[in-house]
Amino acid sequence: MQLSVLDLIPVRTDQSSSDALAATLSLARTADELGYNRFWVAEHHNMPAVGSTNPPVLIAMIAGATQRIRVGSGGVMLPNHAPLVVAEQFALLEAAFPHRIDLGLGRAPGTDPVTSWALRHGGPVEADAAEHFPEYVNNILAMLSPEGVALSVGGRRHALRATPAAQSEPVVWLLGSSDFSARLAAQEGLPYVFAHHFSGSGTAEALDLYRSQFRPSPELEAPRTFLTVNAVVAETEEEARRLARPQLLSMVALRTGAPLSQLRLVEDAAEVELPEAHRAIAESMERRWVIGSPEQAALQLKELAATYGVDEVMVNPIASATRGTDPAAAPAREETLRLLAAAV
C-alpha cells in the first residue's frame, strides 16, 4: 500500500502564517525522505486555522524544497479561477518539475459566500458555476496539451497554449464529495478521489459508480483512485487522541456554526468541555479518523484500503502541538508520518 499526504497547512494559536508555512515545508521534506508517494495541498479561503489558500504558489515552494515526491492540489477549486489561468500555472509547474505535478480539480468554492464574492472582483457569485465544471475541465485538458487549442474569434482561428513548448503534462485528477465528479471522471477517463477525510459518507457508492461507469481514455486505461483520511499516530492511543482533540474541536465548530479560531494547542483543547448536544458529532468524526498507536493505525489503514479497494491512502496529519513547541515546526504531524511509514 502506498502512502501519500494531504496538507491544509493548519495554523495553531502559537503560530503566524510564516510559521505554519515553515512547518509545512519541513513536513513535506519528511514525507519525501520517508518515501511517501505524493504531497497535496488544499484550497480554502478566509479560514482562521487554514493557511492553504493558493495551491500553485504552495506547490512551487514544496516541489522546490523536495527531491522526488509528487506535489499537487487537493484541489484547485474551479469556480474561483479562469481555466486558462489554471492551465498556465500548472503548465509552468510541470515545466519546472517534470513528471512530479498533479492537478486536482474540484467544483466547490472552498469558502463562504462573501469570500466567493470577493474572489470574483466583487461581482455576483454565479449560481450555475458548478454546472460549467465539465466544460472548464475539458478546456484545461485541451490547453495543457502540447498541441494546445484553436479559438475562433472574429472569423479567424487563433492558437492558444498554456506554455509555448510543453514536453510533459501534469496529471489531472477530479475530486469530489458527491457522485457528480465521480460520474464526470468516469465519463472522461480521468483519475478520481473522493473526499473521505471530509465527508465520510457515500465513499463506497461514489467509488463503485466511478469504477462501473469508467471509460478508458488516452490519459488512463483503467480506473485509478485512492482514499483520503484524517490521521494522528503516536506511541500510544491515549496520546494520539490527546493530539487529535484540537482538530476535533475545530471540526465540531465548523459543523455547528460556532465561531472558528486558530487551531488550539493540546493543553488548551484538553480544558474545553463539549456541550452534550455536540458530543455525538465529535464521536462520529472520531470513528472515521485513524487515531492510535502505530499498530492500530496500520491496521485501520489496511482495513480502509481493503474496504474501498484502493492501493494508496492519502493521510491528512491533523495532530496539534503542545506548549513550548517551536512555532515553525509541527513535530507531532511529522511523527505521524514516521510512525505510519514504519508500521504499514
Over residues 14-66, the pLDDT tens digits come to: 999 999 999 999 999 999 999 999 999 999 999 999 999 999 999 999 999 99
Number of structural domains in the chain: 1
Positive/negative CA dihedral, 59, 62, 68, 74: negative
Q: What is the pLDDT of residue 85?
A: 95
Q: What is the pLDDT of residue 196?
A: 82
Q: Is residue 287 in a domain?
A: yes
What is the DSSP secondary structure assignment for residue 124, as one 8-state letter? P
End-to-end CA distance of the chain: 8
Q: What is the pLDDT of residue 159?
A: 84
Smallest CA-to-CA distance from 190 within 248, 131, 144 is with 144
Q: Is residue 170 in a domain?
A: no
Q: What is the pLDDT of residue 121?
A: 66
Q: Is residue 231 in a domain?
A: yes
Q: What is the pLDDT of residue 333?
A: 98
Half-sphere exposure of 102 (CA within 13 A, CB side): 26
Q: What is the pLDDT of residue 18?
A: 98
| Cα 141 to the center of its chain, rounded Å | 20
SS3 238: helix
Q: Is residue 340 in a domain?
A: yes
Q: What is the pLDDT of residue 221?
A: 96
What is the C-alpha to C-alpha distance for residues 247 and 230, in angstroms, rounded to an integer?
10
Burial 154-169 (b: 16+ CB within 10 A, else e): eeeeeeebbbeebeeb
Q: Is residue 136 in a domain?
A: no
What is the C-alpha to C-alpha distance for residues 231 and 240, in angstroms, rounded to an integer?
9
Q: Is residue 269 in a domain?
A: yes
Q: What is the pLDDT of residue 124?
A: 58
Locate cell 515553525: which residue? 328
8 Å CB contact between 6 and 317: no
Prediction pTM value: 0.95
What is the DSSP secondary structure assignment for residue 49, as one 8-state letter? T
Cell of 33: 525522505
Cell of 162: 498554456
Low-confidence spans in the chain with pLDDT less than 70 = 121-130, 199-200
CA distances from 303 to 174, 224, 287 (A): 24, 19, 13
Q: Is residue 242 in a domain?
A: yes
Range of the domain at 246: 25-33+227-344
Output the domain CATH number for residue 327: 3.20.20.30
Q: Is residue 74 in a domain?
A: no
